[in-house]
Amino acid sequence: MAIYSLLFFYPCIGIPGVRERTLIAVKPDGVQRRLVGQIMQRFEQRGFKLVGMKMLQVSEELLSQHYQELRRKPFYPSLLHYMTSGPIVVMVWEGHNVVRTSRIMVGDTNPAEAQAGTVRGDFSIHISRNVVHASDSVEGAQREIQLWFHRKELMDWDCYDHNSTYQL
Ligand code: IDP
Ligand code: MG
């Protein structure tokens, strides 16, 4: 009984996956091409909740931590140049299965392989300019969110329409 009343007042507490969070970033090419609004709209209309957002010019230091597993790749220098070439809009989105669902929404790393209807499949044609970043695992998302955001920059808030997006 106590758990049910807790869920009534705090509907997201204790529901596996509902509080899952992921890091989504509109890369410099997406910002330059004024795609930020369209990309955000896809996450909003899908039913996810925005809990953090900022615009910044990323440092090489932050980027090398973000892409730590790619540092030895031959394309890393050009990736570094691309990602530091202009402002990025970085966001944290929350919701059921958001990591996996957002990877599907973003599409294949190589836009030439990305399905139509995905962000990369609709807005890009080449792997060197693929518009958007999305964390690839729950653990990766937690690491990236801590890297890009201070705790106080993330908002805990309740969507009034949560009953329309989740059956608890
Ligand atoms: P992801 O962004 O789909 O998770 P990752 O393999 O993690 O893909 O690569 C990170 C980013 O590095 C890609 O989004 C893309 O910008 C860049 N990248 C990956 N592979 C290549 C490549 O072969 N050439 C140029 N850039 C690449
Ligand atoms: Mg990746």
Residue 133 annotated among the catalytic residues of the structure: yes
Asked if the structure places residue 96 within a domain, the reply is: yes
**78 is a domain residue:** yes
Q: What's the number of domains the chain is made of?
A: 1
Ligand 1: which residue has its CA nearest to atom 1?
109
> 65 with 147: CB under 8 angstroms?
yes
Ligand 1 pocket, residue 128 CB under 6 Å: yes
Range of the domain at 83: 16-156
Residue 165 in any domain: the answer is no
Asked whether 164 and 86 are in contact (CB, 8 A), the reply is no
Q: Is the CB of residue 136 below 6 angstroms from any atom belonging to ligand 1?
A: yes
pLDDT category, 18, cuts 50, 70, 90? confident
Q: What is the pLDDT of residues 46-83, one digit of tens each?
A: 999 999 999 999 999 999 999 999 999 999 999 999 99
Exposed/middle/buried for residue 72 (C-beta within 10 Å: 0-12, 13-18, 19+): exposed
Residue 62 belongs to a domain: yes
End-to-end CA distance of the chain: 15
Local confidence band at 165 (pLDDT 50, 70, 90 cut-offs):
confident
User: Is pLDDT at 14 greater than 60 in this prediction?
Assistant: no
Per DSSP, 116 falls in state B
Find out whether the beta carbon of 154 lies less than 6 Å from any atom of ligand 1.
no
Per DSSP (E only), the strands in 27-151 are: 49-56, 88-94, 132-134
Q: Which band of pLDDT confidence, cut at 50, 70 and 90, is reported for residue 7?
A: very low
SS3 content of the chain, % helix, strand, coil (to 5): 45, 15, 40
The residue whose CA has the least distance to atom 12 of ligand 1 is: 79
User: How would residue 107 be classed by pLDDT, with cut points 50, 70 and 90?
Assistant: very high
Is 9 a domain residue? no
The pLDDT assigned to 16 comes to 58
- pTM attached to this predicted model: 0.91
The C-alpha atoms of residue 90 and residue 112 are separated, in whole angstroms, by 24
CATH of the domain at 74: 3.30.70.141
Tell me the backbone φ, ψ of residue 50, rounded to 5 degrees.
-80, 125
Whether 30 is in a domain gets the answer yes
User: Sheet harboring 49-56: ordered strands across?
Assistant: 49-56, 88-94, 21-26, 132-134
Q: Which of 115, 127, 129 to mutate to test the pocket of ligand 1 (most atoms within 8 A of CB)?
A: 127
What is the pLDDT confidence band of residue 15, given thresholds at 50, 70 and 90? low
Q: Span 106-121, mean pLDDT? A: 98
Tell me how far apart the alpha carbons of residues 156 and 34 are, in angstroms, rounded to a whole number. Answer: 28
Q: Is residue 25 part of a domain?
A: yes
Residue 154 has pLDDT above 80, yes or no: yes
> What is the Cβ-side half-sphere exposure of residue 144, based on CA atoms within 13 angstroms?
25
Please report whether residue 21 resides in a domain.
Answer: yes
